[in-house]
Amino acid sequence: MGNTRFIPALTVALLLLNFVVSFSTKITTNISTDQLALLALKAHVIDPQHLLTTNWSSAFNICKWIGVTCGSRHRRVIALDLSNMSLSGIVPPHIGNLSSLTWLNMRNNNFHGSLPIQLVNLHRLKYIRLSFNSFYGEIPSWFGSFPKLQYLSLSYNNLIGKIPSHIFEGLPRLQVLYLAVNRLSGKIPLSLFQCKKLEDIDLADNSLEGILPKEIGNLTMLNTLHLHNNMIEGKTEST
Ligand SMILES: *[C@@H]1O[C@H](CO)[C@@H](O)[C@H](O)[C@H]1NC(C)=O
Ligand SMILES: *[C@@H]1O[C@H](CO)[C@@H](O)[C@H](O)[C@H]1NC(C)=O
Ligand SMILES: *[C@@H]1O[C@H](CO)[C@@H](O)[C@H](O)[C@H]1NC(C)=O
Ligand SMILES: *[C@@H]1O[C@H](CO)[C@@H](O)[C@H](O)[C@H]1NC(C)=O
Ligand SMILES: *[C@@H]1O[C@H](CO)[C@@H](O)[C@H](O)[C@H]1NC(C)=O
C-alpha cells in the first residue's frame, strides 16, 4: 500500500492536535468555571439597580467585573464583594465552583433561602460576611469546615434552631463571630471556647439560653462579647 508510511505520521499529527486542544482547554477551564459560576449567580438574582446587568458581560474579562477581584498570578476569582447592591434571590450552588475564593461579602442585600452546601468546597475562605439579608433555616453543620476562616458574620438574618455543637472544632483560626439578631436557640456550644483566637463575639438578640460557661476564660484574646437580649445567665465563680 502506498500510504502505509502516511498512517503513523497522521497518528502522530492527530495525537499532537489532541494534546494541543486538551492543553489549551485545560488552561481556560478555570477562568470559564469562575465565569460560569458568576453568570449563574447573576441569572439567579433580581438586580433592581442594574449594577450587574451590563457590567457582568461575557464581552469583558471577569476580573474587570464590578465586585470581582482576581489573583495576580492565576487570574482566578479570589474575592467577591456584592455588598449594598439591593440584590435579591437565592445563592445558587454554582458559587461552590469559585474554588480560589478567599473573601465573600454579600452584606446588606435581600438574599433569601438557605445557604448552598457547595460553599463547603471553598476551603480557602478566610472571610464570610452575609449579614443583613434574609437567609433562612438552621446554621448548617458543614459551616465547621473552613480551616482558614477568620471572620464569620451571619447577623441580621432569619436563622433558627441551635448552633451546631461541633462547628467551632473546624474553625481554628476564627477571630470574629457575629450571629446577632437571628432566632437562634439552645445553649452556646462548648466547642466555641476552643477557638483561642477569638477577639469579637456578638450573639445578641437571639433566644440563646443556659449559663455562660467558665471556659469563656480560655479566650484570652477576647476583646468584645455581646450576649444581651438572650436568656443567658452569667454566673460568677465566687457564687
Ligand atoms: C484548575 O482547576 C483544577 C481543578 O479544580 C485545579 O486542580 C487546578 O489547580 C486549577 N489550576 C489553576 C491554575 O488554578
Ligand atoms: C464594570 O464596573 C467596574 C467597577 O465599577 C468598572 O471599572 C468597569 O469599567 C465596568 N465595566 C463596564 C463594561 O461597564
Ligand atoms: C456598604 O455599606 C456599609 C454601611 O453603610 C459601608 O460601611 C460599606 O463601606 C459599604 N460597602 C461598599 C462596598 O460600598
Ligand atoms: C459548577 O457547579 C454546578 C452546581 O454545583 C455544576 O452543575 C456544574 O457542573 C459545575 N461546573 C461548571 C464548570 O460550571
Ligand atoms: C480551657 O482551658 C483548660 C485549661 O487550659 C482546658 O483544660 C480546657 O480543655 C479548655 N476548654 C476548652 C473548651 O477548650
Cell digits of residue 29: 477551564
Q: 61 CB less than 6 Å from ligand 2?
A: no
218 neighbors 195 (Cβ within 8 angstroms): no
- The number of CA neighbours under 13 Å toward the Cβ of 142 is 10
Q: Among the atoms of ligand 5, which is closest to the Cα of residue 194? A: 14
Q: How confident is the model at residue 9 (pLDDT cuts 50, 70, 90)?
A: low
pLDDT at 166 over 90: yes
CA–CA gap between residue 125 and residue 146 (Å, rounded): 7
End-to-end CA distance of the chain: 102
**Mean pLDDT of the 131-154 span:** 96
* Comparison of pLDDT for 23 and 163, the residue scoring more: 163
Helix (H) or strand (E) holding 112: strand 110-113
Ranges of each domain in the chain: 2-233
DSSP string covering 144-186, please? Answer: G--TT--EEE--SSEEEEEPPTTGGGG-TT--EEE--SSEEEE
Q: Among the atoms of ligand 1, which is closest to the Cα of residue 30? A: 1
Q: Give me the pLDDT at residue 7, please.
A: 55
Flag the least confident range among 12-16, 47-51, 178-182: 12-16
Q: Give me the pLDDT at residue 75, please.
A: 86
Q: For residue range 59-107, what is the model confidence (pLDDT) as tens digits?
A: 999 999 999 999 988 889 999 999 999 999 999 999 999 999 999 999 9
pLDDT at 28 over 70: no
Q: What percent of the chain has pLDDT over 70?
A: 85
Give the sign of the dihedral formed by CA 203, CA 204, CA 210, CA 216.
positive
Cell digits of residue 170: 473546624
Pocket of ligand 1 (CB under 6 A): 30, 74, 76, 99
**Mean pLDDT of the 6-33 span:** 55
CA–CA gap between residue 3 and residue 95 (Å, rounded): 53
Cell digits of residue 237: 465563680
- The fold of the 2-233 domain, in CATH, is 3.80.10
**Which among 56, 61, 65 is the best mutation to test ligand 2's pocket, defined by most ligand atoms within 8 Å of the CB?**
65
CB atoms within 10 A of CB 67: 18
Cell digits of residue 91: 445563592
CA–CA gap between residue 239 and residue 99 (Å, rounded): 51
Q: How confident is the model at residue 47 (pLDDT cuts 50, 70, 90)?
A: very high
pLDDT at 6 over 80: no
pLDDT at 25 over 60: no
Say how many Å lie between the CA of residue 214 and the centre of ligand 5. 10
**Which among 80, 84, 132 is the best mutation to test ligand 3's pocket, defined by most ligand atoms within 8 Å of the CB?**
84
pLDDT at 198 over 50: yes
- The residue whose CA is least distant from atom 8 of ligand 1 is 30
Q: Give me the pLDDT at residue 22, please.
A: 46
Ligand located closest to 120 CA: 4
Give me the chain's average pLDDT, please: 89
Q: Give me the pLDDT at residue 27, please.
A: 45
Q: Give me the pLDDT at residue 69, please.
A: 97
**Which among 42, 55, 81 is the best mutation to test ligand 2's pocket, defined by most ligand atoms within 8 Å of the CB?**
55
